[in-house]
Amino acid sequence: MAGKPRIEIRCPNCNNLQWEPEAVQSTNCRKCGSYIHLEKGHVASAGHEAPLAYAPPRHEESKGRIDVTCPSCGSLQQESASAKSTYCRKCGGYIQLDKTAKSSAHHEPHEHTVSGLQKLQDLLGVQRTIIARCFECPGVREVPKTATSTLCPKCGAYIDLQDYKIAGAYTRSVRTGGRLIITAKGDLISRRAYCGSADIEGSLRANLICTGDVTFRRKGKVGGSIEARNIHIDRKCDAEFAHPVQADVVEINGAITVPSLTARRVVIGKTGRLTGAVLARGFVVEKGGYFAGDLTIGGESAAANSDTTSLVGVADALGQSKAAPGSDECRISPGE
């Protein structure tokens, strides 16, 4: 079976030759990484005789483009005049393009003026960048908090950074490094949902994988498994999880029931209620908190040798014997 017709394209910057599908409208040079725009009238009919795409002269290609100097390594590259930001092709550093840089388009790096807001943010320690993580490989990239997308520095995959707010029934997949918000009337129905952080108040019928923090205010059943860095159960939450929950730190101030909870540290607040099987390296129940279920202290490798205890009302039953002097907390940790 014959393959799709392809054409040979020459990069106007480095003259590199590469093959692309006939219907392609734009691409990037695989050698120097520069952007190549193809117009229908400039591309010859594709056959297997390797027709060359029309490559305009350098002086014509440079129209509508500006010279950009990387502030980190000093490398010079050309970008579209309408570009708002880009990445250095040499060091991979992020470059924000302002109106002054676009209009001047000179080769010498201009002095960057720090605004009053940026000075205040620096003084208060406000973070202006975030870490975007690739869903295809372990690649990470530091980008401004205002960025809506980026590319993985390792595999080149597209990373969406937009926030998603679900206020009704939603059956499409979610795959973003931004924030996922499910309102009280929202209903996410999918196989998996990837996000950077999440605020769940409505119905979740998907396996949630979150690289950051997840807050639950849900009253009702949660139909998918949860994997997150930190999980916070709000005081308003009264949820029943149908599948396992896994996190680094879990803070419980509401009421939840789980088949199994695996975490490095679990903290049940004075208004928190937890029912289910727990595997954790550290377990804290504040006075007034409630836990009922099987508790295993230790890591997965030590689970076979650790003590497993069935506990009901830990804060009331063990509060006096386990509380540290002068403390209202009931602490259960390895070695106790």
Q: Are 164 and 178 in contact (CB under 8 A)?
A: yes
Per-residue confidence (pLDDT) for residue 322, from 0 to 100: 39
Residue type, 191: R
* pLDDT digits (tens), the chain, 336 positions: 456 677 888 888 877 788 787 777 778 777 777 778 776 535 333 333 334 444 444 444 445 678 888 777 777 888 877 777 777 777 677 787 764 444 333 333 434 444 565 556 556 655 668 788 888 888 888 888 788 888 888 888 888 888 999 999 999 889 998 999 999 999 999 999 999 999 999 999 999 999 899 999 999 999 999 999 999 999 999 999 999 999 999 999 999 999 999 999 999 999 999 999 999 999 999 999 999 999 998 755 333 333 434 444 444 434 433 333 333 444 554 433
pTM, to two decimals: 0.57
Per-residue confidence (pLDDT) for residue 63, from 0 to 100: 52
Per-residue confidence (pLDDT) for residue 95, from 0 to 100: 80
| Domain ranges (residues) in the chain | 6-57, 65-104, 116-159, 244-332
Q: Helix/strand/coil (H, E, C) string of the chain?
A: CCCCCEEEEECCCCCCEEEEECCCCEEECCCCCCEEECCHHHCCCCCCCCCECCCCCHHHHCCCEEEEECCCCCCEEEEECCCCEEECCCCCCEEECCHHHHHHCCCCCCCCCCCHHHHHHHHHCCCCEEEEECCCCCCEEEEECCCCEEECCCCCCEEECCCEEECCEECCCEECCCEEEECCCCEEEEEEEEECEEEECCEEEEEEEECCEEEECCEEEECCCEEEEEEEECCCCEEEECCCEEEEEEEECCEEEEEEEEEEEEEECCCCEEEEEEEEEEEEEECCCEEEEEEEECCCCCHHHCCEEEEECHHHHHHHHHECCCCCEEEECCCC
